[in-house]
């Protein structure tokens, strides 16, 4: 049985390589001071879903690719229902830009009322690949 080793780096490099069931450690360099349930760094989480959406000039301001990585919520965060981060590649003429969001959260207070916002800025991610692959 071969086991894929852990890898680490900035979100801009790591987010395009993660897959569902990968275990992540998210290291903050800035917390959102307005978020009262800020979990302790590193946040341990598991990737639950990865979606990739191609954006065209007809559907968005800039053409490119939007990759959303959904994750489980940290155990010491009593507010959020889900976490996610977005990795976006934008094309404008000959220019290509790569952007990464903060760690974002969603809180469904009631079925008709959902709050979203940011937990904080992540500067480093460590990925522990899905351990069930070798079973």
CA dist 92 and 40 (Å) reads 38
Angle, alpha carbons 7-68-87 (nearest 5°) = 65
Contacts of 35 (CB under 8 A, 6+ apart): 79, 105, 117, 118, 119, 120
This prediction has a pTM of 0.86
pLDDT, tens digit (0-9, with 9 covering 90-100), for 61-88: 788 899 999 999 999 998 899 999 999 9
pLDDT band with cut points at 50, 70 and 90 for residue 134: very low
Burial of 79 (C-beta count, 10 Å sphere; 0-12/13-18/19+):
middle
With a cut of 90, say whether residue 123 has pLDDT above it: yes
Domain boundaries, the chain: 10-130
Distance CA 104, CA 86 (A): 9
pLDDT at residue 1 in the model: 37
Cα dihedral 34→39→42→43 (10° resolution): -110
């Amino acid at each position: 049985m071969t086991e894929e080793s852990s890898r680490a780096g900035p979100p801009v490099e790591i987010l395009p390589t993660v897959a569902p069931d990968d275990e992540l450690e998210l290291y903050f360099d800035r917390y959102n001071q307005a978020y009262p349930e800020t979990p302790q760094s590193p946040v341990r989480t598991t990737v639950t879903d990865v979606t990739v959406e191609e954006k065209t000039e007809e559907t968005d301001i800039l053409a490119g690719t939007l990759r959303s990585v959904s994750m489980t919520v940290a155990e010491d965060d009593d507010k959020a229902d889900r976490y996610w981060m977005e990795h976006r590649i934008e094309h404008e003429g000959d220019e290509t830009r790569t952007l990464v969001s903060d760690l974002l959260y969603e809180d469904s207070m009631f079925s008709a009322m959902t709050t979203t916002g940011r937990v904080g800025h992540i500067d480093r991610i460590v990925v522990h690949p899905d351990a069930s692959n070798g079973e």
